[in-house]
């Protein structure tokens, strides 16, 4: 939707082909964070060991189904390749630069009169174990070097800052640059804005194939061929299948996550709160609602709700916060994850009119506006003044590594 808006803002004629409706995928019930503080990619040196430990615990925040799925194991192979300190050092400035640009673009959208619950109230990462708290302090140097402003609070100072925190919290980090928004509201507002800009929304149109004709692709939906000067493939976790029909291999795997939105809450947290050890995010939303979001089930395609994982999210909230996490609306969505934790925004080699804009993983809200801006720059052939070199996000960057997609 952001790609459509940014292209239409440039005066181009745009149609969106959407099989269900704006926000039908992962963009609806997520935590809505826009967080330069969370610019470490999923692939980092500790990720593999922790992931293996969590695999043995059915209530853990990460789950990898034990099945023989060549695509998943191929993805994991690449993930291991990227789980290095050198990759983290390379990826953090890229993700941080993109997030800071997105923050500025969200402010521009607000200045255009779009309303989507955008608040720059910072983010509190809280800890219930000294071990995890001390480990987080060891990353402060790196964050400060990257220009991430962070305030360190001990348990009592954290509880004084956020009275909803329970006595179990032993320490916290406060990131003042972070922001949040209501994601469902954002998608609705972007769809409305797109129409104001003249974008055609063709809802209920499922693209079946991207047919290749020489160096170009043509979308086929409902038996019709829909030709376009440029085709932007932004189908989230489903992008891999569509890309494959055009002969493009994208290592994007779904990672299912859940959220529970509680209504009628007496007291909301002043800012989003990360329940660090449990990997659960808590977001205050308008109208007395609070959202708990977490869990990463890798390679899981279905949209069934796993009651045990939802309960784990509720239990974490009850441990860290003075809230009563019963009832509410339960939702799940598929994050489109790449093995290096960077999105894919760019033209695949050998195709003149295809641009991929996907693979945003855990950061699709954070990176949405800057992705729209990058797509518009690629279509218009403008490379100047971009927050990153577009080559770094190219869909071709995985080609030299072994993989099946
Ligand atoms: C629990 C949870 C919490 C999260 N929290 C955050 C957060 O706090 N901050 C953040 O930045 N990110 C967060 N994320 C990640 C974020 O939600 C995703 O990265 C983002 O929504 C991906 O957006 P997308 O537009 O690429 O994909 P989606 O939102 O999934 O959209 C893809 C769209 O493509 C359509 N589509 C698919 N195939 C076809 C087809 N063949 N033809 C036509 N249409 C098609 C689908 O219907 C869908 O509407 C979270 C995710 C989860 C699950």
Q: What is the pLDDT of residues 168-202, one digit of tens each?
A: 999 999 999 999 999 999 999 999 999 999 999 99
CA dist., res. 209 & res. 225, Å (int): 9
Token reading at 294: 């977490």
- Which residues of the chain carry a pLDDT beneath 70? 56, 58, 400-405
Atom number in ligand 1 closest to CA 334: 53
Instruction: Output the pLDDT for position 63.
Output: 81
Alpha-carbon span 331 to 256, nearest angstrom:
10
What pLDDT, on a 0 to 100 scale, did the predictor assign at position 399?
A: 78
Token output for 171: 């320490």
What residues pair up with 203 in beta bridges, in sequence order? 18
Cα(249)–Cα(229) distance, integer angstroms: 22
Please name the residue whose Cα sits nearest to atom 20 of ligand 1.
364
134 CA from centroid of ligand 1 (Å) = 34
Atom of ligand 1 nearest to the CA of 360: 19
| pLDDT at residue 404, as a whole number | 56
Say whether pTM exceeds 0.85.
yes
Ligand 1 centroid from CA 307, angstroms: 22
Cβ-based burial of 167 (10 A; exposed 0-12, middle 13-18, buried ≥19): exposed
Which atom of ligand 1 approaches the CA of 364 most closely?
19
The DSSP-derived string for 6-55 is: HHHHTT---EEEESS-TT-STTSSS--EE-GGG-S-S--TTHHHHHHHHH
Which pLDDT score, from 0 to 100, does residue 390 have? 87
Dist CA 289 CA 267 (whole Å): 9
Cα 334 to ligand 1 centre (Å):
6
CATH of the domain spanning 2-398? 3.50.50.60
Nearest atom (ligand 1) to Cα of 361? 19
Do 147 and 296 form a contact (C-beta atoms < 8 A)? no
Q: Which tokens belong to 393?
A: 């996000």
Domain ranges for the chain, please list them: 2-398
Nearest to 276 by CA among 383, 402, 137: 137
Provide the pLDDT for residue 135: 92
CA-based max dimension of the chain: 65
Atom of ligand 1 nearest to the CA of 258: 1
Q: Which residues line ligand 1 (CB under 6 A)?
A: 17-20, 24-27, 30-33, 206-207, 234-238, 242, 257-259, 281, 293, 333, 335-336, 358, 360-366
**Quick one: pLDDT at residue 143?**
83
Distance (angstroms) between ligand 1 centre and the Cα of 216 equals 26
Centre of ligand 1 to C-alpha 270, Å, is 26
Q: What's the pLDDT at 62?
A: 83
Determine the pLDDT at residue 405. Answer: 58
């Amino acid at each position: 939707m952001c790609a459509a808006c940014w292209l239409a803002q440039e005066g181009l004629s745009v149609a969106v082909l959407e099989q269900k409706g704006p926000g039908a995928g992962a963009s609806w019930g997520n935590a809505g964070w826009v967080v330069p503080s969370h610019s470490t990619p999923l692939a980092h040196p500790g990720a593999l060991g922790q992931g293996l430990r969590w695999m043995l615990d059915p209530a853990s925040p990460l789950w990898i189904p034990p099945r023989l799925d060549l695509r998943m194991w191929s993805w994991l192979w690449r993930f291991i390749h990227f789980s290095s300190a050198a990759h983290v050092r390379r990826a953090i400035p890229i993700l941080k630069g993109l997030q800071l640009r997105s923050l500025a673009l969200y402010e521009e959208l607000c200045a255009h009169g779009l309303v989507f619950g955008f608040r720059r109230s910072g983010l509190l990462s809280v800890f219930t174990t000294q071990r995890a708290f001390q480990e987080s302090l060891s990353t402060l140097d790196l964050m400060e070097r990257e220009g991430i402003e962070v305030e360190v609070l001990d348990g009592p100072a954290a509880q004084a800052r956020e009275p909803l925190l329970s006595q179990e919290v032993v320490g916290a980090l406060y990131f003042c640059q972070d922001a949040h928004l209501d994601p469902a509201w954002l998608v609705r507002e972007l769809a409305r804005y797109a129409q104001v800009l003249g974008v055609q929304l063709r809802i209920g149109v499922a693209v079946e194939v991207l047919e290749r004709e020489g160096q170009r692709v043509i979308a086929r939906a409902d038996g019709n061929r829909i030709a376009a000067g440029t085709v932007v493939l932004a189908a989230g976790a489903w992008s891999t299948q569509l890309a494959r029909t055009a002969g493009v291999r994208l290592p994007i795997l779904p990672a299912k996550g859940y959220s529970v939105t509680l209504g009628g809450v007496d007291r909301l947290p002043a800012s989003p709160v990360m329940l660090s050890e449990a990997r659960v995010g808590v977001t205050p939303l308008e109208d007395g609602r609070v959202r708990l979001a977490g869990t990463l089930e890798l390679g899981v395609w279905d949209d069934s709700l796993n009651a045990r994982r939802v309960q784990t999210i509720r239990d974490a909230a009850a441990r860290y916060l003075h809230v009563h996490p019963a009832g509410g609306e339960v939702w799940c969505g598929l994050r489109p994850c790449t093995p290096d934790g960077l999105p894919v925004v760019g033209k695949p080699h050998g195709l003149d009119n295809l641009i991929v804009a996907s693979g945003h993983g855990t950061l699709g809200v954070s990176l949405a506006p800057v992705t729209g801006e990058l797509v518009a720059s690629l279509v218009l052939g403008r490379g100047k003044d971009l927050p990153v070199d577009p080559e770094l996000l190219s869909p071709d960057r995985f080609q030299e590594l072994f993989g099946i997609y």
